[in-house]
Amino acid sequence: MKKLAFKGILPRLWFAAVALAVAAPSRADDPPSRPNVLFIAVDDLNDWAGFLGGHPQARTPNLDRLAARGVHFTRAYCSAPACNPSRTSLMTGLQPSTTGVYHNNQPWRPVLPDAVTLPQHFSAAGYDVAGGGKLFHNSFNDRDSWPEWFGLKGSDHPKPEQTPVNGIPGAAHFDWGPLDVPDEAMGDSKTVSWAIDWLQADREAPFFLAVGLIRPHLPWYTPRAYFDHYPVDEIILPETLANDLDDLPPAGIAMARPDGDHRKVVAAGQWEKAVQGYLASIEFADAQIGRLLDALDASGHRDDTIIVFWGDHGWHLGQKQHWRKFALWEEATRVPLIVVAPGLTEADGRSDRTVSLLDLYPTLIDLCRLPGRPELEGESLAPLLRDPGAPRDRPALTTHGRGNHAVRSERWRYIRYADGSEELYDHQADPREWTNLAADPRWQSVKDELSSHLPSTDAPDAPPAR
């Protein structure tokens, strides 16, 4: 595959631009001219958070208080419903259809050797940059992006003595169950403890601190106390429709895989226990985020630190007879997104505009007054941070595999698969996406408009890992 190179700004001119941006004067009533950034990522979290109302039993008091501090987005979407392509897109500012990184088994750096990642851009601007936990995807972490790095070992992830706990044959990490260990034994707790220590150190330069939590990614093993908050006989299952797949094209049914995880979960009588495990893992992650927010406030940096909280993609728990991510429907593509920008955002801000994780790179460039990068394909969210109701007419694009795309506007979701088959959902009348309207000629103009936002080209697949 031909390598993509990004040489839009010559290095010497770029660093000169950084110096000018840093030296630019600011007005007394402006936000901090060189604010810090606390960049918090979680893995596999859908809209089951209190501030998004995705599940009535979800306990996320710390995410809710974070949302109340700034602006949260009710229609935020990932670029890809899988860890590696989603994180690659966010960190490089490029769509999967531009890079060819569509799946978890495709190393991204070999096809983007000259890409300047978000943390690298901050490093070049004179920021103290550090990262820990899961930020890029597992073995494809880009160590060149992190002047300081905190990683975890396999022993930092405790598990039950006998697995799988759920009794599903061949489940591997598709498992859930309580652990008789304290919070401190968990990898995410260790990552947050490292970040807390990092925040306490004195430093002269502004910082960009990225903290990536693994939960609620599988396996859903968390300390028993979190499971105890959700008695199995009280679990509320997601709303589903028995014949939900009847109006899907074969490509959609293939993504749903109804004879895969869903059939196994139902046959094993594990649906309620799976939801219990997911809720417990969300609450555990929320507790760690609470520790981190408390440490930021105690550090004295509350008023000069931008906080960005994001999830890399959504998650299905039986909707459309599908589990995990790896699909183009609402549950797999909608993500939690919160931005707190001192001096800019006001408390309790809610934006219902459609946005993408791809927008975070240009947003942080704007907020921190860094030089722009012309190759970035997102659009800054700064206008929505100033005014959450400001106009924005830009749908979100999500890609899963070459040629498979979803376009999400405020009202509609349009899916076109690589074979040309389609789905169309009207969220105004059908928020669960139970009725595919793609074959109804009344909505042809809607499909035409939404399809105009599909990529003009789809890059060839990046080579998989050897």
Residues identified as active-site: 83, 137
Strands 207-212 and 128-133: parallel
The residue among 330, 332, 334, 333 whose CA lies nearest residue 316 is 332
139 C-beta neighbours (distance < 10 Å), count? 8
Decide: residue 144, CB within 10 A, 0-12 exposed, 13-18 middle, 19+ buried.
Answer: exposed
Tokens of 90: 């966010």
Tokens representing 432 are 């669960």
Contact at 8 Å (CB) between 177 and 272? no
Backbone angles phi, psi at 104, to 5 degrees: -75, -20
Spell 47-61 as b/e; 16+ CB within 10 A means b: bbbbbbebbeebbbe
Q: Determine the residue type at 32.
A: P
Q: Provide the residue type at 132 as one letter.
A: G
Task: Give yes or no for a contact between 403 and 82, defined as CB atoms under 8 angstroms apart.
Answer: no
**Which residue type occupies 12?**
R
Q: Where are the alpha helices (DSSP H) in 132-186?
A: none
* Alpha-carbon span 250 to 12, nearest angstrom: 52
The answer to whether the bond into 25 is cis (omega within 30° of 0) is no
- Closest alpha carbon to 196 in 292, 130, 62: 292
Location of structure tokens 């060149």: 144
Relative to beta strand 396-399, strand 405-408 is antiparallel
Tokens 């989603």 sit at which residue? Answer: 86
Burial profile 361-388: b = 16 or more Cβ within 10 angstroms, e = fewer: bbbbbbbbbbbebebbbbbbbbbbbeeb
